[in-house]
């Protein structure tokens, strides 16, 4: 062992035997650290930087005026102390990583602090749950808590009732812990990101990545993964479980003798893998496909003995669609099949035309794309660089490329391209990190440190635009939440809810009581008709005796989202609110500065024949 390169990294991927654990690991670490012994000074520097970063961050959270947020999102209102905090953290992390003279705990703490700053900032500043879809997911938990079951045939958000694993688990935890589901959801991005941190380190270790590349890749992951899929969702949970399964496959099923003991896997890793697969398949539609491709690929490429696990995943996913999810599957089979084998369509449905959105959003989207393309380019360069030197990276290549298969299978409501990025990004950052630290022993190269630092800062700036860029309408004011709470708690079952768009605190309680008509989703002809006579068309829609009650709900976040994404003409929703507000035919049954709930005003009329009739007040001609 003493012949190994003294500065190279590090400990065994898996200390599989007691001898290794008790003595071997200590010895291996000694060897690995001979050139890079831990230094108390580095530790003190790291802890001091951590303290300064945290202090600056806490100070930055005071006096942030959320109402001043502009079209570029949260960045427009964060004070300079926020950037000082992230700057200190980044410099400290890269310096410690480059010198390699602190233990993993310090590096874990730095990445943990990064996660806390990025995801904790909205959680603390907003005092309300951000992002409309998180509210809808809270609504599924609420449904399970009230009904003790799911309804696979439900009219709205039926997909979640057919794959309810995540929601069932959340319902149990929320119910028994006494923590409101909204509070859990508020901190879910932080919690899932921390779990992903553990999973990434695990996977990268199992891949045998050198220590510097490993930690740089982990850091880059959290500042390049801008697609925001760590919110309270089945995807966030399934993603963590997927990464864990990849790590487990490499740790316990790899054919490569250096990653695993020279023995067949015992029952425990099998049971664990099956458990992970069952939890994912019963919670999410997309991730099982990734599992099949990756585990199948590992088997075919003779990386790991995971063939049967891939077969099990595929079979179980099919059984789930034919069993618990059969009603959803039957209803959507034609649409699903149409998407299979149409990668070109699937990859373009979610791509926004930047000429159609607001200038702020166009900037954000361009930065999204620069970040994405930049990462792919650097990762590609890293791959090529290593390939030319004879390193084949079969496993890493498989994990990087496998997500592309998703494009051939589904458009996932325009989301497919973003999910491909989500699943590919850890391994893209791994290749990118290898550009800087191909061997892990570059501690004497100041150039490598400079490149790592420069890349980390550049990527961070882009990330802050990309990740926080939609916060103006992802943030919901307490006024909007109060209005939504009033509406969702007052409305009787079988209500009609006409909403400006889908972007507001929606469907989080009693959500099955409504039929939803989002105005923004109507076609252009309807939009033109509404623009010509907003009050008349709204009155016409609301006067519907098929429902127990009818409501029109317009909020600040709906208006801002529409202004930013321009799905409707500029000023469209505001003009509807103005028209309704100025008409005697409507009454604002709940109203504040940020939201209003309108209902029709009815009058009692005695007809010429003497009959008493209740009918809506007529709307004035526009």
- Among positions 130-149, residues that touch other proteins (CB under 8 A) are 144, 148-149
Q: Which CB atom, from 223 or from 254, has the smaller least distance to other proteins?
A: 254
Pick from 8, 342, 404, 457 the residue near other proteins by CB under 8 A.
Answer: 8
Cα–Cα distance, 436 to 448 (Å, whole number): 6
Judged by CB under 8 A, does residue 5 bind other proteins? yes
H or E element at residue 587: strand 586-592
Torsion of CA 192, 197, 203, 209, to 10 degrees: 160
Residue 228 tokens read as 């925001």
Nearer to other proteins, 104 or 593 (CB): 104
Is 178 an interacting residue with respect to other proteins (CB under 8 A)? yes
Backbone torsions φ then ψ of 304, nearest 5 degrees: -150, 160
CA atoms within 13 A on the CB side of 267: 0
H or E stretch covering 477: none
Rule CB under 8 A: say whether 18 interacts with other proteins.
Answer: yes
Residues 284-343 binding other proteins (CB under 8 A) are 303, 324
Nearest distance in Å: CB 437, other proteins: 10
Smaller CB separation from other proteins, 265 or 403: 265
Binds other proteins (CB under 8 A): choice among 392, 523, 524, 611? 392
- Taking the least distance from each CB to other proteins, the nearer of 252 and 423 is 252
Q: Which of 99, 331, 439, 529 binds other proteins (CB under 8 A)?
A: 439
Determine how many CB atoms are found less than 10 A away from the CB of residue 532. 10
Give one DSSP letter per residue of 533-560, joined into a string.
-HHHHHHHHH--TTSSEEEEEEEHHHHH
Q: Which stretch binds other proteins (CB under 8 A): 51-59, 120-128, 235-243, 570-578?
A: 235-243
Residues 344-363 that bind other proteins (CB under 8 A): none
CA gap 227, 133 in Å, rounded = 14
Q: How far is CA 255 from CA 15, 387, 569, in A?
A: 17, 22, 59
Tell me the two tokens of residue 529: 């008709």
Residues in contact with 332: Cβ distance below 8 Å, sequence separation at least 6, in sequence order: none
- Tell me 100's DSSP state: T
By the rule CB under 8 A, 19 interacts with other proteins: yes
The residue (of 72 and 206) whose beta carbon lies closer to other proteins is: 206
Give backbone dihedrals phi and psi of 228, rounded to 5 degrees, phi first: 70, 35
**Residue 413: helix, strand or coil by DSSP?**
helix
Which residue from 46, 343, 403, 440 is in contact with other proteins, where contact means CB under 8 A? 440
Nearer to other proteins, 279 or 457 (CB): 279
In the list 231, 393, 463, 598, the residue contacting other proteins (rule: CB under 8 A) is 393
Shortest distance, CB of residue 414 to other proteins, whole angstroms? 27
Determine the interface stretch with other proteins among 245-253, 362-370, 377-385, 592-600 (rule: CB under 8 A). 245-253
CB 606 within 8 A of CB 583: no
Q: How far is the CB of 473 from other proteins (least distance, A)?
A: 31
CB of 177 to other proteins, least distance (A): 4
**Among 28, 59, 64, 352, which residue interacts with other proteins (rule: CB under 8 A)?**
28
Q: How many helices (H) and strands (E) does the chain have?
A: 27, 7
Residue 130 CA to residue 95 CA, distance in Å, equals: 34
Query: What does the block give as tokens for 48?
Result: 């001091």
Does 257 sit near other proteins (CB under 8 A)?
yes
The reply to whether 175 sits near other proteins by the rule CB under 8 A is: yes
Q: How far is the CB of 431 from other proteins (least distance, A)?
A: 11
H/E segment holding residue 602: strand 602-606
Supply φ then ψ for residue 543, to 5 degrees. Answer: -80, 80
Contact pick of 396, 415, 480, 563 for other proteins (by CB under 8 A): 396
- Residue 432 or 484: which CB sits closer to other proteins? 432
Instruction: Give the x-and-dash track for 185-224 against other proteins (CB under 8 A).
Output: ----------x--xx-xx--x-xxxx--------------
What sign results for the dihedral spanned by CA atoms 301, 307, 313, 318? positive
Contact with other proteins (CB under 8 A) among 48, 58, 155, 261: 261
- Of the pair 263, 545, the CB lying nearest other proteins is at 263
Query: Which one of the spans 254-262, 328-336, 497-505, 513-521 is the region binding other proteins (CB under 8 A)?
Result: 254-262
Residue 537 in tokens: 């068309």
Cβ within 8 Å of residue 405, ≥6 positions away: 289, 290, 293
Nearer to other proteins, 21 or 369 (CB): 21
Residues 478-537 that bind other proteins (CB under 8 A): none
Any contact of residue 275 with other proteins (CB under 8 A)? Answer: yes
With a CB cutoff of 8 Å and minimum separation 6, the contacts of 24 are 12, 15, 17
Stretch that binds other proteins, among 359-367, 391-399, 555-563, 597-605 (CB under 8 A): 391-399
């Amino acid at each position: 062992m003493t012949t190994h390169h003294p500065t190279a990294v590090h400990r065994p991927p898996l200390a599989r035997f007691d001898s290794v654990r008790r003595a071997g690991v200590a010895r291996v670490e000694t060897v690995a650290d001979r050139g890079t012994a831990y230094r108390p000074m580095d530790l003190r520097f790291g802890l001091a930087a951590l303290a300064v970063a945290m202090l600056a961050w806490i100070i930055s959270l005071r006096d942030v005026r959320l109402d001043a947020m502009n079209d570029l999102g949260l960045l427009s209102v964060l004070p300079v102390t926020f950037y000082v905090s992230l700057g200190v953290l980044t410099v400290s992390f890269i310096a410690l990583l480059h010198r390699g003279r602190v233990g993993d705990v310090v590096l874990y703490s730095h990445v943990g602090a990064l996660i806390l700053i990025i995801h904790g900032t909205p959680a603390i500043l907003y005092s309300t749950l951000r992002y409309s879809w998180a509210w809808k997911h809270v609504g599924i938990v609420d449904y399970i808590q009230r009904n003790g079951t799911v309804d696979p045939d439900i009219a709205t958000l039926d997909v979640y009732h057919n794959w309810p694993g995540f929601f069932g688990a959340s319902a149990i935890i929320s119910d028994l812990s006494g923590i409101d589901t909204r509070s859990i959801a508020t901190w879910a991005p932080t919690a899932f990101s921390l779990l992903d941190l553990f999973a990434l380190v695990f996977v990268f270790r199992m891949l045998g990545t050198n220590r510097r590349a490993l930690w740089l890749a982990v850091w880059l992951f959290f500042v390049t993964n801008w697609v925001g899929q760590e919110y309270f969702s089945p995807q966030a949970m399934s993603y963590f479980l997927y990464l864990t399964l990849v790590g487990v496959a490499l740790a316990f099923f790899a054919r490569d003798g250096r990653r695993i003991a020279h023995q067949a896997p015992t029952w425990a890793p099998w049971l664990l893998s099956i458990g992970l697969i069952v939890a994912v398949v019963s919670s999410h539609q997309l991730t099982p496909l990734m599992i099949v491709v990756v585990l199948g690929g590992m088997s075919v490429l003779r990386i790991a003995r995971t063939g049967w696990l891939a077969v099990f995943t595929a079979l179980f996913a099919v059984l789930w669609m034919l069993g618990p999810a059969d009603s959803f599957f039957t209803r959507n089979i034609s649409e699903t099949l149409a998407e299979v084998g149409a990668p070109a369509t699937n990859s373009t449905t979610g791509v926004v035309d930047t000429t159609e959105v607001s200038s702020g959003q166009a900037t954000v989207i361009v930065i999204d794309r620069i970040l994405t393309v930049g990462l792919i380019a650097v990762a590609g360069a890293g791959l090529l660089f290593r390939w030319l030197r004879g390193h084949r990276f079969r496993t890493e290549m498989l994990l990087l490329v496998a997500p592309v298969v998703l494009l051939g299978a589904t458009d996932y409501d325009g989301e497919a391209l973003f999910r491909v990025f989500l699943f590919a990004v850890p391994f893209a950052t791994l290749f990118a990190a290898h550009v800087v630290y191909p061997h892990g022993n570059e501690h004497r190269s100041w150039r490598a440190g400079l490149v790592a630092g420069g890349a980390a800062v550049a990527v961070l700036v882009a990330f802050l635009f990309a990740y926080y860029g939609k916060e103006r309408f992802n943030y919901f004011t307490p006024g909007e939440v109060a209005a939504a709470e009033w509406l969702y708690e007052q409305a009787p079952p079988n209500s009609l809810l006409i909403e400006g768009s889908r972007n507001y605190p929606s469907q989080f309680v009693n959500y099955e009581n409504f039929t939803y008509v989002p105005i923004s989703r109507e076609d252009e002809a309807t939009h033109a008709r509404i623009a010509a006579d907003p009050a008349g068309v709204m009155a016409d829609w609301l006067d519907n005796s098929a429902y127990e009650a009818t409501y029109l709900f317009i909020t600040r976040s709906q208006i801002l989202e529409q202004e930013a994404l321009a799905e409707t003409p500029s000023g469209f929703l505001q003009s509807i609110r103005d028209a309704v507000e100025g008409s005697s035919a409507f009454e604002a049954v709940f109203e504040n500065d940020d939201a209003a709930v309108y209902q029709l005003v009815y009058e009692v009329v005695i007809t010429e024949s003497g009959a008493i009739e209740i009918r809506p007040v007529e709307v004035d001609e526009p």
